[in-house]
Amino acid sequence: MAAVLSRESWSRSPGFRFQIIAYTRLVYMPSSTLPANDQLIDQYLNYLLIEKGLSAKTLASYSRDIVRYHDFLRLNHVRRLSEADTAMILRHLIALRNAGLSARSRARHLVSIRGFYRFLLQEKIIQRDPARMVDLPKANLKLPDVLSVEEVARLLEAPDIEKPLGARDGAMLELLYAAGLRVSELVNLKLQDVNLEAGFVRVLGKGSQERMVPIGQEARDKIEIYIKNHRSRFLKNRTSAYLFCARAARPMTRQGFWKRLRKYAALANLHKKVTPHSLRHSFASHLLEGGADLRAVQIMLGHVDIATTQIYTHVARRQLKVIHERLHPRG
């Protein structure tokens, strides 16, 4: 017989077969009557109650957080807690943010999840702790709005690519989202930095760190149309090393691009505050929500600033390209 903590907030979750009494009372029942994951959660909450001596109010908070995480795993077809990885935890935090939870509330959720995984590691139920490297959301960090896939599509379709300005702007918007670029990286791209045949763009990021990022077919097509049919109109018989030019072969400025972006956001009837960084965060969020490997996304971004892990590792360029083509909405 196992001591099982009765949790009122768990009553709505499927699979639980114990009587609802109170947080501080224990009900003895065969542990075999609970599903495997539920048994582990029960063990952890009893550990907090008996060995850590946490209050009923604190236990209630822990149980709600862990149940919500457990429900998220089920919805994403993760059957065993040992199968969840760091990317899945980050996707859960993104889902919490999209549901409107504050950074403080998401931090509390992460504390609950971290404690649970530490317990599972301590009990040798899992071999590694997927929550160990996940950063706490910063309470004072104001993230830009993340656009939905449908909103991004409306924005990218706003420019009239039959006209020179629209062709240039459409290629810039598509590339910004396709590669998760910073606006400074976008406007400073050189013509030689883009390899349309291979489907990669070479980016010089912060600290002069160079990275190679794959781009999808949509971006390749729009860039090719711009280069072949319209770029010469901005050069006015001059030459320029820069990919995207404004008047008289001068490179596009960040301020100039911001103005163009605001125009297209209005044309797309987007009511959110849309900035170049919104597309960068949307790029990361959409890939992670689609199941992309967290480390690959970090490499493609060059630096992750969305309250996530700081894991950097080597991933082959071909592997990055496959991930991008498979998981990016416009890959």
Q: Is 277 a catalytic residue?
A: yes
Catalytic residue among 92, 97, 109, 182: 182
Number of other residues whose CB lies within 10 A of the CB of residue 192: 9
Catalytic residue among 79, 80, 206, 263: 206
Q: Which of 262, 263, 303, 317 is catalytic?
A: 303
Whether 182 is catalytic is: yes
Q: N- to C-terminal Cα distance for the chain?
A: 53
Measured between alpha carbons, how far is 324 from 278 in angstroms, rounded to an integer? 19
State how far the alpha carbon of 131 is from the alpha carbons of 83, 102, 182, in Å.
12, 20, 28
Query: In the structure encoding, which two tokens stand for residue 281, read together?
Result: 């965060």
Q: Which helix (H) or strand (E) holds 203?
A: strand 200-204
In this structure, the number of other CB atoms found within 10 A of the CB of residue 165 comes to 15
Please confirm, yes or no, whether 206 is among the known catalytic residues.
yes
242 flagged as catalytic? no
**Of 114, 260, 277, 330, catalytic:** 277
- Cβ-proximal residues to 299 (8 Å cutoff; 6+ apart), any chain: 211, 312, 313, 315, 320
Q: Is 226 exposed, middle or buried (0-12, 13-18, 19+ CB in 10 A)?
A: buried
Catalytic residue among 230, 231, 280, 328: 280
From 128, 238, 312, 326, active-site residue: 312
Active site amino acids: 182, 206, 277, 280, 303, 312
